[in-house]
Amino acid sequence: AQRVTQPEKLLSVFKGAPVELKCNYSYSGSPELFWYVQYSRQRLQLLLRHISRESIKGFTADLNKGETSFHLKKPFAQEEDSAMYYCALMDSSYKLIFGSGTRLLVRP
């Protein structure tokens, strides 16, 4: 079964601390993975996608096929990073399968 798991509902860190939001997936093919973010009172938006191998707002994510993971990382968290983060997988029919999300709270 195709599934995306985000084990942490809430991750609280202090400003300047490193952040790692965990994402594990289950997919039989070659996955395409994404991170979406939803800031307070804003709509869901794409943060980054695996295929682009880009860094957005200091965030990076590396696909580890051996561990079936796509963790989101940032070396120094900022207060404006506080938001809801969703990991998503695109299946062979190009539909997105989302995890249940992790709320990141960056304390001053």
Partner 1 sequence: ETGVTQSPTHLIKTRGQQVTLRCSSQSGHNTVSWYQQALGQGPQFIFQYYREEENGRGNFPPRFSGLQFPNYSSELNVNALELDDSALYLCASSLETGAITDTQYFGPGTRLTVL
What is the Cα 91 distance to its own chain's centre? 17
Q: Tell me if 40 contacts partner 1 by CB under 8 A.
A: no
Of the candidates 20, 32, 35, 2, the residue with the CA atom closest to the CA atom of residue 75: 20
Q: Tell me if 65 contacts partner 1 by CB under 8 A.
A: no
**Count helices and strands in the chain by DSSP H and E runs:** 0, 11
Q: Tell me if 46 contacts partner 1 by CB under 8 A.
A: yes
| Smallest separation (angstroms) from partner 1 to the CB of 54 | 12
Q: Tell me if 8 contacts partner 1 by CB under 8 A.
A: no
| Per-residue tokens: 91 | 């299946």
What is the Cα 94 distance to its own chain's centre? 18
Candidate ranges 13-21, 57-65, 68-76, 95-103; the one touching partner 1 (CB under 8 A)? 95-103
Q: Tell me if 37 contacts partner 1 by CB under 8 A.
A: no
CA–CA gap between residue 26 and residue 18 (Å, rounded): 26
- Cβ closer to partner 1: 70 or 99? 99
Number of residues lying near partner 1 (CB under 8 A): 23
Question: 106 pairs with which residues across the strands?
Answer: 13
Question: Which residues bind to partner 1, rule: CB under 8 A?
Answer: 4, 6, 9, 32, 43-46, 49, 51-52, 86, 88, 90, 93-101
